[in-house]
Amino acid sequence: MYIDDIEAYIPQDEAEAAEKEIILDYIRRDPDTILLRENRAAHMTASGFILSADGEWVLMAHHNIYRVWAWTGGHADGEGDLLKVALKEAEEETGASGLRPISRQIASLEILPVWGHVKRGEYVPSHLHLNVSYLLTADRDGPLCAREGENTAVDWLPAEGLLERTNEWQMDPIYTKLLARGRRLLG
C-alpha cells in the first residue's frame, strides 16, 4: 500500500522530512480522494527519473505545457501502486524499451505546486502534486517516441550539465538529488 511505503521512507534531510509529514497529513485528511485528480487541492502523482545503466545519461521529455526538458510522471488516477504509475507514465511519455526500476524503494518525496493552466482546452486550477519519485533505467540504444499532446521530443541528455538543459530552477535541487542517488545505486 502506498501509504505504508511513504511512512517507511527515511527522509535524507529536513526538507524531505517536512514534505513527508505534509503528504501524510493530506493522505490522512482525504483518504477517499487523494489518489484522484478530482481532489482539486492536492492529489498523488508519481515520477520516474530515468538513468542510463552507466549513470551518464538522463532520459527526459520536452514538456508541452511548461516548454522545458523534464522527468516523466503523472497522476495516480486511483492506482495505489505508485511505482506502477511511474513505470506506466515513463513508457507512455518516452516509448523507451527495457524500462525497469533501479530500486523498488521510493527515491524521493516532493510537494510540487502546479500553476493554473489550460490543458486540452480546459482550465486546470492551481493545485499541489504530492509526488513520489522512483529511480528507473532503460535501454539507451532503443527507440524513443514522444507522446502527442504531452511532449514534443524525447532524448537522452548528458548527466553532466543536465541543469543547463532543463532550465527549470525550482526542479534543480530535485534533479540533482535524484541524479546523485541514482548514480550511487548504479555503482
Tens digits of residue pLDDT in 12-47: 999 999 999 999 999 999 999 999 999 999 999 999
CB-based contact 71:176 (threshold 8 Å): no
Q: Which residues contact 17 (CB under 8 A, 6 or more apart)?
A: 11
pLDDT at 148: 85
pLDDT at 67: 86
User: Would you say residue 65 has pLDDT above 80?
Assistant: no
pLDDT at 13: 93
**169 grid coordinates:** 530552477
Q: Note the pLDDT tens digit of each residue in 169-181.
A: 999 999 999 999 9
pLDDT at 82: 98
Q: Which residues contact 74 (CB under 8 A, 6 or more apart)?
A: 45, 46, 85, 88, 89, 92, 93
pLDDT at 3: 96
Domains along the sequence of the chain with CATH: 2-186 (3.90.79.10)
User: Would you say residue 66 has pLDDT above 90?
Assistant: no
Q: Cα–Cα distance between 155 and 33 in angstroms, integer? A: 35
pLDDT at 124: 87
Q: Cα–Cα distance between 159 and 53 in angstroms, integer? A: 12
Measured in whole angstroms, the distance separating CA 157 from the mean position of its chain's CA atoms is 17
Per the prediction, the chain carries an average pLDDT of 95
Q: Note the pLDDT tens digit of each residue in 88-124.
A: 999 999 999 899 999 999 999 999 999 998 888 889 8
Q: Which of 133, 128, 52, 51 is nearest to 86 (CA)?
A: 133
Beta bridge partners of 45: 75, 131
pLDDT at 117: 84
**161 grid coordinates:** 550539465
Q: Considering the chain, what percentage of its residues have pLDDT values greater than 70?
A: 100
Measured in whole angstroms, the distance separating CA 46 from the mean position of its chain's CA atoms is 5
Indicate the pLDDT class of residue 137, thresholds 50, 70 and 90.
Answer: very high
DSSP state of 171: G
